[in-house]
Chains A and B, each alone.
Chain A
């Protein structure tokens, strides 16, 4: 061991925070090893006399005088093949490999296992030849990582030059040199299948592109009323039991991103094992392969060390950015960002920093914005298009949306899918409240919808929104005096809104047809509901009582159409419309005879 390093020893210990006196060998955000067990830590504050380190593992057993060794680099992750279909903790330690290495069901401290499998041989195809000029972000090798994901090795940003050596296609391991580059200064860079990247630095891109392609989720309330774009940001706030995790799971399963990064940040262990199991069993409809083939899980459960929880969000987004640079559309599910904010608060408290709102540190908003700004649809350095969509769950204390994490998240995200306790109590899932939620992507996305779904899609959506809005104001009256006193045309609004709420917005995640609904069907459902509404309205205008219309059972029939019309038989909608017309015509004729 280097003698210069051994001089640095622990002075004080307080929970996960360790201090070192009079040291000059560290730099800010440097990764360090602490104590005999070489626990991983990070330098978070420096002053002339004292360096403060947060330790990513349990500090029991550390003592003053134990060595602290610097690594000379910031907290970083290894990027290379083997990330997909894997499960990591908050600092990219592979949990399955740890289980194999220790043979224990518990995570012991100071386990040193390489992040990615170094012994596995990959089927490498070299895509460059000698003499090619490469710059940062260019692809030099590809290999099938899983059955559906092709891994593309990228020249690290900031490196460019001429290819001087290549190997022939064949089987190589993670750390084998496959390409060498000579840069302008004549310096040789050897490229293996992997590279390292500091988690708190965004990976550079050529330019950010407008957010004008939607991320299709197959969830009606989102795709229709509150759409999000590829590269967009969304927050899902909700108290416990409101269905945040369920919504995140549904999005992870069905959204049309190529890669899913699922971050379980300070959440339940059993939930993670559920994700693991479910994703393995679930077959991706597009590729007919298990979901895990395109998913990476970051599991830092609530009882795992708090500092690693803080890092897990950055680890997740760095992995996503790496795949984005290969030209993939990635979606990150961060469940939950509140736990991450609390980790910040906890560490800030240990550092005895001056607290701002509710004990959170004053830099909470800037950290949140740093994170969400790493989302976006971009043109990569290599000239490809990719995106990172960030969907963050927020768990407000006491389901009170005025608390700092929710409020600050609201400022930096453009979709706000507010989960509502009373909807969840009535088991209306997804419990996204259509009145308090919003999406700022309409203007960006409307051209896309117009082009791909027709102008009427937007028209129906606006009508649906208007009916819901009107129902909302009518409900104020109904709460006071009951629905019976309303005139028939207002009652019709309430009845139609019920069809929309129960038959359209509410979606059954456990039903084989209803769990994912293509845009086509969403549009036809809206169309049928609006049709019934408009025909009924014209009948009421000709003084036919609403009770007569309702007794025809059409409203109930539309509520169940989400189950009754399979996704593969969309032509059935025409029959529905015909039935509506006929039934109402008969009523009309009967009335006038």
Chain B
């Protein structure tokens, strides 16, 4: 039986309260019909007996206490799924906005997803060659990993993401099983447009699903955007064996939307006003990456987030770092020196790297080289801070060598052009070449046998 409830009892921000509702269930979707004929959707988020609290997906503008009819749909939030969804452009709640008509569903998917059984997961091991030296050598991306880019406003995270998409050899040789799910949350129209144009430029637009919730779209829809995107990704990966790369930008806007929603619900705020369940909520998104038994597909996530005031201890990057398997951190000072991609390698990390590199994957000495580069570059930073106090002239001979190594490392290894696609051999060889600037005795992270094979003193 379908019942319409007339009027609402209370309106507060994006929430409306109805009384006397029977037979509703938690997380059920409702249709809200306004007098002017338009319809909005909402979701039940809290219930006390017959009093229900509904979160309205668009906004509550125009809703009054008397002019609405609310109908219970009898289903939790679902979205239509089909292989035909590839190449389409959807809004934040998964409805097509490209005027190509509705998606004919082969299956309806609950957007909240269900947690993967840890036993059913396959531990990700295949590395993705991105053609970017810093990432391939030091922060190797693995198929099925979630590796966010920590950035700040005005930094080149979008370019980096686009370059990764273009160069990533994620699929089989013919590129058949590959697709990108792109979720924009609260980003500017230009940004969404930049991604769209880039995808078109290198001819993969027909392999992309775009979900757009732009900066001026309703915030409640923004909360649904990543959930819809990941539902699509899981469907394509686990039921159609595709290699799916999910790019979500900007996670900070998502978290802020969640905060706005939480405060209008009157919840007790945690750090910086974010709700106490921010960790669990972010985890329910990020954990929807990986590979599972019985499917050849994979979901790899590259969430992008801008750190407010470049502060890595802000709750959003902080909690993200605890959930994701590493992070790529961009540095404003590197960008200021005109280096691209401005990846600050020291705080960057890939947790899955150690099992996906080395013999049989990349090259046997990869891990040793990476450890040595990290360790030597950490010493460069020490030498630089010393130089800023006593002046570079006063440094010991070895510290001067470190300065030289640091400059060369940044200019030649970190820095590469937007179109340059380096093979893993090129990157590793370059790493060894640069280590040649340092005396052999300084390379304490590498076994002597490997050093003898690869170490060559650098000659100008």
Bound Cα distance from A239 to B319, whole angstroms: 10
Q: Does B27 lie within 8 Å of A342, measured CB to CB?
A: no
Q: Does A502 lie within 8 Å of B444, measured CB to CB?
A: yes
Q: Does A240 lie within 8 Å of B322, measured CB to CB?
A: yes
B24 at the interface (CB under 8 A from A): yes
B271 at the interface (CB under 8 A from A): yes
Bound Cα distance from A343 to B276, whole angstroms: 9
Q: Does A359 lie within 8 Å of B386, measured CB to CB?
A: no
B308 at the interface (CB under 8 A from A): no
A297, closest chain B residue (CB): B118
Q: If A270-B121, A270-B124 touch, does A61 touch B25 (CB 8 Å cutoff)?
A: yes
Q: Does A105 lie within 8 Å of B321, measured CB to CB?
A: no
Contact mask for chain A residues 260-299; partner B; CB cutoff 8 A; 1 contact, 0 none = 0000101011111110110000000000000000000001
Query: How close is B22's CB to chain A, nearest CB, in angstroms?
Result: 8
Interface of chain B residues 43 through 88 with chain A (CB within 8 A): 46-50, 76
Interface of chain A residues 369 through 386 with chain B (CB within 8 A): none
Contacting B112 at CB < 8 Å: which of A60, A266, A426, A484?
Answer: A60
Interface of chain A residues 290 through 318 with chain B (CB within 8 A): 299, 301-304, 306
B323, closest chain A residue (CB): A302
Query: How close is B408's CB to chain A, nearest CB, in angstroms?
Result: 19
Q: If A61-B76, A273-B121, A358-B271 touch, does A15 touch B277 (CB 8 Å cutoff)?
A: yes
Q: If A349-B276, A559-B444 touch, does A301 touch B267 (CB 8 Å cutoff)?
A: no
Q: Does B277 lie within 8 Å of A269, measured CB to CB?
A: no
B389 at the interface (CB under 8 A from A): yes
**B441: which A residues are within 8 A, CB to CB?**
553, 556
**B290: which A residues are within 8 A, CB to CB?**
269-270
Q: Which of A73-81, A324-332, A393-401, A445-453 contacts B (4 or more CB under 8 A)?
A: A393-401
Contacting A87 at CB < 8 Å: which of B116, B119, B367, B379?
Answer: B119
Query: How close is A287's CB to chain B, nearest CB, in angstroms?
Result: 24
A157 at the interface (CB under 8 A from B): no
**A573: which B residues are within 8 A, CB to CB?**
none
A425 at the interface (CB under 8 A from B): yes
**B283: which A residues are within 8 A, CB to CB?**
266, 301-303
**A59: which B residues are within 8 A, CB to CB?**
26-27
A510 at the interface (CB under 8 A from B): yes
B293, closest chain A residue (CB): A105
Query: How close is A486's CB to chain B, nearest CB, in angstroms?
Result: 11
**B447: which A residues are within 8 A, CB to CB?**
563
B375 at the interface (CB under 8 A from A): yes
Q: Does B115 lie within 8 Å of A303, measured CB to CB?
A: yes
Max chain A CB contacts within 10 Å: which of B110, B327, B374?
A: B374
A152 at the interface (CB under 8 A from B): no
Contacting A63 at CB < 8 Å: which of B26, B110, B319?
Answer: B26
Q: Does B287 lie within 8 Å of A302, measured CB to CB?
A: yes
Q: Does A425 lie within 8 Å of B120, measured CB to CB?
A: no
Contact mask for chain A residues 331-360; partner B; CB cutoff 8 A; 1 contact, 0 none = 000000001001101101100100100110
Bound Cα distance from A60 to B312, whole angstroms: 34
A479, closest chain B residue (CB): B386
**A11: which B residues are within 8 A, CB to CB?**
48-49
**B270: which A residues are within 8 A, CB to CB?**
345, 349, 358-359
A342, closest chain B residue (CB): B279
Contacting B276 at CB < 8 Å: which of A13, A359, A481?
Answer: A359
**A19: which B residues are within 8 A, CB to CB?**
48
A245, closest chain B residue (CB): B351
A40 at the interface (CB under 8 A from B): no
B35 at the interface (CB under 8 A from A): no
Bound Cα distance from A510 to B364, whole angstroms: 13
**A359: which B residues are within 8 A, CB to CB?**
268-271, 276
Interface of chain A residues 142 through 185 with chain B (CB within 8 A): none
Kindly state the interface size class of chain B when it binds its partner: 35 or more
Interface of chain B residues 253 through 304 with chain A (CB within 8 A): 267-271, 275-277, 279-280, 283-284, 286-290, 292-295
B152 at the interface (CB under 8 A from A): no
Q: If A63-B25, A482-B396 touch, does A395 touch B374 (CB 8 Å cutoff)?
A: no
Max chain B CB contacts within 10 Å: which of A105, A355, A395, A556?
A: A105
Bound Cα distance from A299 to B117, whole angstroms: 9
Interface of chain B residues 89 through 136 with chain A (CB within 8 A): 110, 112-124
Q: Does A274 lie within 8 Å of B355, measured CB to CB?
A: yes
Query: How close is A88's CB to chain B, nearest CB, in angstroms?
Result: 10
Query: How close is A9's CB to chain B, nearest CB, in angstroms?
Result: 10
Bound Cα distance from A95 to B238, whole angstroms: 20
Contact mask for chain A residues 60-84; partner B; CB cutoff 8 A; 1 contact, 0 none = 1111110000000000000000000
B395 at the interface (CB under 8 A from A): yes
Q: Does A268 lie within 8 Å of B276, measured CB to CB?
A: no
Q: Does B326 lie within 8 Å of A426, measured CB to CB?
A: no
Q: If A270-B124, A398-B313 touch, does A60 touch B76 (CB 8 Å cutoff)?
A: yes
Q: If A62-B26, A479-B389 touch, does A268 touch B268 (CB 8 Å cutoff)?
A: no
Q: Does B114 lie within 8 Å of A12, measured CB to CB?
A: no
B445 at the interface (CB under 8 A from A): yes
A480 at the interface (CB under 8 A from B): yes
Bound Cα distance from A395 to B46, whole angstroms: 31
B371 at the interface (CB under 8 A from A): yes
Q: Contact residues of A with B, CB < 8 Å? A: 11-15, 19, 21, 58-65, 87, 95-96, 98-99, 104-109, 239-241, 245, 264, 266, 268-274, 276-277, 299, 301-304, 306, 339, 342-343, 345-346, 348-349, 352, 355, 358-359, 395, 397-400, 421-422, 425-428, 478-484, 502, 510, 553, 556, 559-560, 563
Please name 19 further chain A to chain B contacts, defined as beta carbons within 8 Å, in addition to the given A95-B119, A270-B145, A479-B385, sorted by A numbering.
Answer: A13-B47, A14-B47, A15-B277, A21-B49, A63-B47, A64-B47, A96-B119, A99-B120, A104-B117, A105-B292, A245-B351, A264-B118, A270-B290, A348-B276, A397-B313, A397-B315, A398-B318, A422-B378, A482-B396
20 A-B contacts (beta carbon < 8 Å): A60-B26, A60-B27, A61-B25, A105-B121, A105-B292, A245-B351, A270-B123, A273-B121, A274-B355, A276-B123, A302-B283, A302-B284, A303-B283, A303-B284, A395-B322, A398-B312, A427-B371, A479-B386, A482-B390, A482-B399
